[in-house]
Amino acid sequence: MPRVLVSDQLSPTAVQIFKDRGVEVDYEPDLGKDKEKLLAVIDKYDGLAIRSATKVTEKLIASATNLKVIGRAGIGVDNVDIPAASRKGIIVMNTPFGNSITTAEHAVAMMFAVARQLPEADTSTRAGKWEKNRFMGVEITGKTLGVVGCGNIGSIVAMRGIGLKMHVVAYDPFLSEERASQLGVEKLELDDLFARADFITLHTPLTDKTRHIIDKAAIAKMKNGVRIINCARGGLIVEADLVEALKSGKVAGAGIDVFETEPATDNALFSLPNVVCTPHLGAATTEAQENVALQIAEQMSDYLIKGAVSNAINMPSITAEEAPLLKPFIKLAEVLGSFVGQVTEEPIREVEILFDGSTAAMNTRALISAALAGLIRPQVADVNMVSAPIMVKERGIIVAEVKRDKSGVFDGYIRLTVKTANQTRAIAGTCFSDGKPRFIQIKGINLDAEVGEHMLYTTNADAPGIIGLLGTVCGQNGVNIANFALGRNRPGGDAIALLYLDAPFPEQVLAKVRAHETIDSAKPLRFDVSMM
């Protein structure tokens, strides 16, 4: 009988689900706070069910000799070392949609609290001061609400804002004009949103692209008297810059539920009267906590008893029977999506996924989900195969599937084509007998290229000296090229190059490559090769 440890607070109903499904469960809700004790017992368990208190570190994973699955009751998996879990073959699951309404409602509540200074007014009134003239608030009605990140939670906030008779503007690189029209929001670029919004609310995950999305430079572009709400992730805002802006009056108020360092027991924001702070309560309602607890218990039980995988961060959702054949092509689809997602900067309007030959007979739904997850993961770090199709649909992106009989030299391959307002990108790949994904066509140019963890992709007109140029620039700046792949459509036509590197390509060296007149574009790429 599989055995699960619950190391954080979880609903008794969820614990009962494990028992009813035939899983032995130990409920130790305070164990997550005792690192050494948890380390000592983790090897006894097949599954670990957690919230945010338990920190699943590389050290803990190394000691988890029998662990097969980690289940996070909630969406954020910042407290789990996912690469370490992946390397050890441990599946990491979350519950991406169980607390969306709750988090959205908290953001709206914070907006009201900031607009009317409710916490300060409450404290003053309880002290018997009756300071009516001190607490002069602003109305919500008629104001412009800027929603940064218009996915599942952001779109709910946008609809609530429209219901409050606000004018809602939104920034999201994946939000299409059609989806924006359906929601009733005006789609803007980020700087335009900063300039027009009276209230700004953040609903984006914390990634390399979104970290410190609001800093001193961003605040300078905002209206005087803007109010900022963050119920998403700590680290989206440079807290020191926000403190300075609040003190100067540039920012009239802020509602902060998440902090760069948590638990936040000492923070400069706490001393400011125009700030409303809460201790990461976005998902803290009875309904949300119950929903995510029940979901994670069901998901973990289904995996441990039946082998079914759902809402996995690091594993495709496939059945045990499909796994041997499908798994390499799942990774291929994800890699193809990731390639296009990393090189495409404009909002995506359409995605076409072609399955040729043997791939057309596979579980293409899983392959499509993997491709979409790879496509949007550069922008949405917490996406997985289950949530990716929903997130893509929410953004109004059209997804088309095409199947056809074998048409070339390969038994089967996948081609991903993405359309934006100004360009079309296409990439194709297959898996050879070793099960590893390979690129076989980029921009219509045939080649045979492996997938590396760190790569540089360049485009240029086919001309002498490109290989020498790239080699010289890298050599002069201490960048080691592990391997090299080239392709062109015709002599003197379009050409591409893929450089395989030992480490991420340095920004200062990238600038030198891009500055050369013969290089049309240069994009650094990174792929997760731990599951290949």
pLDDT tens figures, 485-512: 999 999 989 999 999 999 999 999 999 9
Q: Nearest Cα to 415, choosing from 446, 373, 394? A: 446
Residue 531 has a pLDDT of 60
CA dihedral angle for residue 311, residue 315, residue 318, residue 320, rounded to 10 degrees: -120
Q: Whole domain around residue 514: which residue ranges? A: 453-526
Q: Domain boundary at 451, 471, 503, which?
A: 451
Indicate if 273 and 341 belong to the same structural domain.
no
Beta bridge partners of 80: 56
Structure tokens at 156: 């709910």
> How many C-beta neighbours within 10 Å does residue 253 have?
25
Residue 68 has a pLDDT of 93
Q: Which residues are designated catalytic?
A: 233, 262, 280
Sign of the torsion formed by the C-alpha atoms of 2, 75, 242 and 133: negative
Q: Is residue 185 part of a domain?
A: yes
Q: Is residue 378 part of a domain?
A: yes
CA triplet 413, 418, 421: central angle to 5 degrees?
A: 165
Q: Domain boundary at 257, 277, 297, which?
A: 277
CATH number at residue 504: 3.30.70.260
H-helix segments, 21-170 = 35-41, 58-63, 82-87, 100-116, 118-126, 152-163
Question: By the 8 A CB rule, do 93 and 275 touch?
Answer: no
Indicate if 249 and 155 belong to the same structural domain.
yes
Indicate if 205 and 216 belong to the same structural domain.
yes
Indicate if 322 and 437 belong to the same structural domain.
yes
Q: Is residue 531 part of a domain?
A: no
Indicate if 133 and 232 belong to the same structural domain.
yes
CATH number at residue 300: 3.40.50.720
Indicate if 366 and 263 belong to the same structural domain.
no
Indicate if 483 and 442 belong to the same structural domain.
no
Q: Domain boundary at 401, 424, 451, which?
A: 451
Indicate if 344 and 304 belong to the same structural domain.
no
Q: Is residue 532 part of a domain?
A: no
Q: Is residue 508 part of a domain?
A: yes
Write out residues in the chain with pLDDT < 50, as ranges.
Answer: none
> How many C-beta neighbours within 10 Å does residue 56 have?
26
User: Which pTM does this prediction carry?
Assistant: 0.68
Residue 180 has a pLDDT of 94
H-helix segments, 164-214 = 177-183, 190-196
CATH number at residue 388: 3.30.1330.90
As a whole number of angstroms, the distance between CA 106 and CA 177 comes to 27
Q: What is the pLDDT of residues 48-83, one digit of tens each?
A: 999 989 999 999 999 999 999 999 998 888 899 988
Alpha carbon 305 to its chain centroid, in Å, reads 29
Q: Is residue 490 part of a domain?
A: yes
Indicate if 308 and 358 belong to the same structural domain.
no
Indicate if 143 and 222 belong to the same structural domain.
yes
Q: Is residue 283 part of a domain?
A: no
Residue 2 has a pLDDT of 95
Which of the 8 DSSP states describes residue 452? -
Number of residues written out for the chain: 532
Indicate if 108 and 236 belong to the same structural domain.
yes
Indicate if 334 and 193 belong to the same structural domain.
no
Q: What is the number of domains present in the chain?
A: 4
As a whole number of angstroms, the distance between CA 92 and CA 344 comes to 28
Q: Is residue 282 part of a domain?
A: no
CA dihedral angle for residue 122, residue 126, residue 129, residue 131, rounded to 10 degrees: 20
